[in-house]
Chain A
Amino acid sequence: MNQSHSGAASRRLFSSVAAFTLVALAAGQAAAADELNALVWCDHTDPALIEPFEKANDVKVNLKEYEGTGAGLSILEQSQPGDWDVMVVDAVDVHRVIDMGLLGEMPADALPTADIFPELRMEENNTKDGKTYAVTEKFGYNTISFDKTKVDPKDMEDLSVIWSDKYKGRIALYDYYLPMIGLVQLGLGKKTADLSNADMPAIEEKLSAMKTVSKQVSDVVSSQTALATGEVDILVGGGEWITASLAKDKPELDWIVPKQGAVRWAQSIGVMKDSKKPDLALKFVQYILSPEGQARLATSSCYWGMPTNQKAGEHLADEQKKALRWDDQPAYLKNTQLYPIPTAELDQKMQDAWTNMMQQ
C-alpha cells in the first residue's frame, strides 16, 4: 500500500516536473533572446514591419506609441535613463530632443544617407556640431484631401478654400496645431520658417474663419472616418497619409498640393543616448532605413507616407507607388515647406490660439 502510494506520488512528482520542464522549454523557445524598447509613432506598430526584424535578430521589440512631440517628451520625463533604446520624432523637433541630452550620436558611415532624397537628408535638423543624431525615415504632406465627386477639384488648388464659405459645414480640420498653423501661414503668402509672434493675430483671425466654416476638428482616425463616410468632403491638413491606404476602396478620395504650397511633415529616427543596447538599437534604425524596411514603413497599416530611401521604390508595387504619387515627388518637394519650428514661447501662443479656436 505504502509502496503503491509512494509510486503514485513519484509519478505525480515526475509528471509535474516534466510538465514544468516542458513549459519552461516552450517558454524558452518562444521568448526572444533580447528586448528593445522603442518610442514610436503608430506606423511602427504594424507587425508586417516589426516581425521581420524580430525574427532576423531574435529580439522582441516593445513598442510604445505616442502622438505629438509633447506627448513623447512627457513619456521620457516619466521614464528612467536607459528605459528607451530608440525614438521616432518629428524631424523638426530633433534638436529639441538633442538639447535635452536624450539622443545619442550615430556613426554616419553606418547609415544609408546617400540613398535618401537630398531634400529629406535635413542635416540642419538631424545633426549638430557635425554629429548625426537622427535620420529622416518617412515624409508626406499636410495639405488638402477631398472627395473629388463632391467638390470641384479646381477649388482645391487655392488654399483660401479652407476659410471660404463655399464648402461651409463640409470641412474637417486635422487636430494638430503645428502643420495647420503652417498651412494658414502659407495661405497668407508667408514662409513657415519665418513664422513669428507678429504673425499670430492674422493667423488667429484665419483660424477663427476656418472654425466657422468647418464641421469638426478631428484626430487621424476620426478625420479618415469623416472623409470616408461622407460626413465631410474636405479634410484640411490631410494628404497621402489619409487617402493612400483608402485608395482601393475609395478611389473618389484625392489630395492636392495647392498653388501656395503645403506643409511637409517628416519623421526621424534615432538611438537614445542612455540606451543599454546601442548596437541593437542602431541595427533597428538600419533596418527601418533599409529599402525593405522603408517599403514596409511607407505602407504601414496605421498610415502611409513616402519613404525617404529612394531605393525603397524597388520594393513597392506599382499601385502603391501610384497611391503615394511617387513620380510627382520632385515637384511636390519644391512646392512644400517644413513645419514651423517655434520657440517655447511661440509654441505656447500657437497652442493657445488652437485651443481658443476649438472653444469658439
Chain B
Amino acid sequence: MTTATLEQSEHRKAWGLVAPALLWTVAFFVIPFLYMAAMSLWSRQGREILRVWNLDNYARFFNESALLRGLTNSLEITLTVTVLSVLLAYPLAWIIAERVPKRWQRMALILAILPFWTSYVVRSYSWLLVLSKGGVINQALLGIGLISEPLEIASNRTATVIGFVHFFVMLLTLTIYSNLIQLSPNYRRAAADLGANAFQTFWHVILPLTLPGVMTGAFLTFVLCIGDYITPQILGGNNELVLPQIIMLQIGRRADFPMAAALSIILMLAVTAAYVLCARWLKIERA
C-alpha cells in the first residue's frame, strides 16, 4: 500500500469516526439554530405570523425599555451570581482539597453536592419559605434580637441571587476541587524552598495555576444562570423580569414565536460574548 493510499484510508476512517457527532450536531443544533435565526426575522401582526424577513423584532428590542431591561437585569444578576459563587466556592473547594483528610474528602464532596439531589423547582420553593417574613432566617434574627422588623429578602433580586448562588456554589466547588487536587505538591515545596509563606504560595502559585478551572466553572455558571427561567420566576416575585422570562412571555401569552426567537438569538449572543472573553483570557494565560 502506498503512502497516499494509506493517508486516504486514514482520512476516510477519521471522517467515519467524526460523522455521527457531526450529523448529530447538524441535525439537532445547526438546522434548528438556522430555523430559529430565520424565524427571528419574521414578525407577528395581530394574531398572524408574517413570514416576510425584516428586523422589526430586533428594532423593538432596542426601542422598548422593558425588553432591554430584561437583558440588563439578566447580565447584572448573572455577573453578581458568578462572582459570589466563585468567592464562596473557592475556599470551600480549597478546604475540602487541603484541610479535609483524604479518606473524608469523598464524603465532604457528597455533602457539598447533596442539594443537587433534590428537584430544582422544589429547592426554589423551599428557599421562598426560608426567606419569607415568617421563614427560618427572619424568625431566627428576630428571635435573637438582631432585627426588630423582618428583612425583605424574599420575592426580589436578593432572593433570586441567593437561590442561584446556592446552586452554583456546588457546581463550582466540584470544578475547582478537581483542579486543586491535580496540582503537584512539588509546587508548594518549591515555593517554600524559595522562602514564600503560605499566603504568598497561594497567591503567586496555587491561585494562578487553578484559574483555568475557576474560569471554566465561572463560564458554566454564567451560561446556566443567564439562561435560567425557574429561579427568577419563583424567587424574584416578578418584581423584575430577566430575558428568559420575557422569552417565555412571548411564547406563553402572545404566541409570538418570532419575537421569542429574536430574544433567544440575543441571549445566545450574550453567551457567545462571554465565551469569547473567557477563551481569549485562557489563551493569554497559556501564552
A interface, CB within 8 angstroms of B? 67-68, 70-71, 73-74, 77, 96, 169, 175, 177, 215-219, 221-222, 225-226, 229-231, 344-345, 348, 351-352, 355-356, 358-359
Contact = CB atoms under 8 A, between A and B. Distances in A.
Interface of A is mostly: helix
Contacts of B32: none
Nearest to A77: B255
Interface stretch (B10-18, B183-191, B208-216, B235-243): B235-243
Contacts of A67: 252
Contacts of A359: 65-66, 69-70, 240-241
A230 B139 CA distance: 13
15 contacts: A68-B253, A71-B253, A73-B255, A74-B255, A96-B47, A222-B237, A230-B132, A230-B134, A231-B134, A344-B46, A348-B254, A355-B67, A355-B249, A358-B238, A359-B241
B246 interface: yes
Contact of A344 (B47, B129, B154): B47
B133 interface: yes
Nearest to A226: B155
Contact of B237 (A73, A215, A344, A345): A215
B234 interface: yes
B255 A229 contact: no
Given A217-B239, A218-B237, A355-B246, A231 B253 contact: no
A85 to B, nearest CB: 21
B96 to A, nearest CB: 35
B33 interface: no
Contacts of A221: 125
A230 B246 contact: no
A96 B48 CA distance: 13
Contacts of B69: 359
For B67, B133, B249, B255, which residue has the most chain A Cβ atoms within 10 angstroms? Answer: B255
B165 interface: no
A231 B252 contact: no
A68 B253 CA distance: 6
Interface in B240-264: 240-241, 246, 249, 251-255, 257
B128 interface: yes
Contacts of B46: 344-345
Contacts of B251: 71, 74
A351 B253 contact: yes
B241 A358 contact: yes
Given A70-B255, A74-B255, A359-B69, A216 B241 contact: no
Given A222-B128, A345-B46, A216 B254 contact: no
B237 A217 contact: yes
Contacts of B233: 219
Contact of A231 (B154, B234, B257): B154
A230 B66 CA distance: 30
A359 B241 CA distance: 6
Contacts of B241: 355, 358-359
A253 B139 CA distance: 22
Interface residues of B, number: 33
A95 to B, nearest CB: 12
B238 A356 contact: no
Contact of A216 (B134, B238, B252): B238
A352 B63 CA distance: 13
Contacts of B255: 70-71, 73-74, 77
A209 to B, nearest CB: 15
Interface string B141-163: 00000000000101100000000
Given A215-B155, A345-B46, A229 B237 contact: no
B128 A225 contact: yes
Contact of B253 (A70, A222, A356): A70
A51 to B, nearest CB: 25
A67 B253 CA distance: 9
B76 to A, nearest CB: 13
For B132, B234, B253, which residue has the most chain A Cβ atoms within 10 angstroms? Answer: B253
Nearest to A348: B254
Interface string B50-91: 000000000000001111011000000000000000000000
B155 A70 contact: no
A226 B37 CA distance: 40
Contacts of A230: 132-134
Given A216-B155, A359-B241, 18 more contacts: A74-B251, A74-B255, A169-B152, A175-B238, A177-B253, A221-B125, A222-B237, A225-B128, A225-B129, A226-B155, A229-B135, A230-B132, A231-B134, A355-B241, A355-B249, A358-B239, A359-B66, A359-B70
A112 B97 CA distance: 71
Contacts of A351: 249, 253-254
The 6 closest A-B pairs by CB, nearest first: A216-B237, A344-B46, A217-B238, A216-B155, A70-B253, A359-B66
A358 B240 contact: yes
B238 A231 contact: no
Nearest to B233: A219
A312 B167 CA distance: 47
A222 B234 contact: yes
A344 B47 CA distance: 6
B129 to A, nearest CB: 7
A172 to B, nearest CB: 8
For A73, A175, A216, A230, which residue has the most chain B Cβ atoms within 10 angstroms? Answer: A216
Contacts of B134: 229-231
A240 B51 CA distance: 44
A345 B47 CA distance: 9
Nearest to A78: B257
B66 A355 contact: yes
